[in-house]
Amino acid sequence: MMKQKIKQISNKDLVIDSIKKYPGLRFFELKNQTGLVNGVLQHHLQMHIKLKNIRLEYDNTTPRYYSTEVDKQTAILLKRLRQPTTSKIIKLLLKNECCTFGQLVKSIKKSPATVSIYKNKLLADNIIVGDTNECKNCSESYNKIKYRLVNSDHATLMIHEYGKNSLRKTVDNLSDIFLSIR
């Protein structure tokens, strides 16, 4: 009987492959994804950062890891797609082309204050834009501000490329809660 060789992936490659597959993971999520213990994971992350294979970015005090192949605007979009409320806003705007603030609140089913916080984050990140231009979905909202995606093709591509499951898998529920009560 022939022994079948099983190719084992090194911890170094496991870390970089996980970051490429799931860009924007936080340390704990990356630890769960790779199965590595804290010290081993920290060692490989520091090595990859030093070699400039990955990029470390902070969202407030939360570190996120990205492959250097992921540009900054894509990293921001992926971060927002991982957050439940901003993800709902982005997906709603993909579906409807544009929405007024009232339509966002009604569809997202969160308080106006919470929706406002996340809408403002998306505006600041240049993922959405607000204007009073006419829209087929908002004809009754003449002269009201309507929100649209700046680049809906890019958002669609990121959802398809990184998959709804990987984005849903690492949802930042706790961060969503904290940001909404600030």
Tens digit of pLDDT for each residue in 30-80?
Answer: 999 999 999 999 999 999 999 999 999 987 888 999 999 999 999 999 989
pLDDT the model gives residue 127: 95
More confident residue, 131 or 126: 126
Is the per-residue pLDDT at 22 higher than 50?
yes
**Residue carrying the six token digits 């060789």:** 5
Asked if 83 contacts 125 with a C-beta cutoff of 8 angstroms, the reply is: no
pLDDT the model gives residue 41: 95
φ/ψ of residue 15, rounded to 5: -65, -50
Query: What pLDDT band is residue 115 in, cutting at 50, 70 and 90?
Result: very high
- Nearest CA among 32, 34, 39, 27 for reference residue 64: 27
Quick one: 27 exposed, middle or buried, by C-beta within 10 A (0-12, 13-18, 19+)?
middle
Cα-based torsion angle of the residue sequence 22, 23, 28, 31 in order, rounded to the nearest 10 degrees: 50
What's the chain's average pLDDT?
A: 84
Q: State whether residue 148 is helix, strand or coil.
A: strand
Query: What pLDDT band is residue 172 in, cutting at 50, 70 and 90?
Result: very low
What is the pTM for the complete model shown?
0.75
Query: What pLDDT band is residue 177 in, cutting at 50, 70 and 90?
Result: very low
- Nearest CA among 30, 57, 53, 51 for reference residue 41: 30
More confident residue, 138 or 67: 67
Please state the rounded mean pLDDT for residues 5-28: 86
Please state the rounded mean pLDDT for residues 72-89: 90
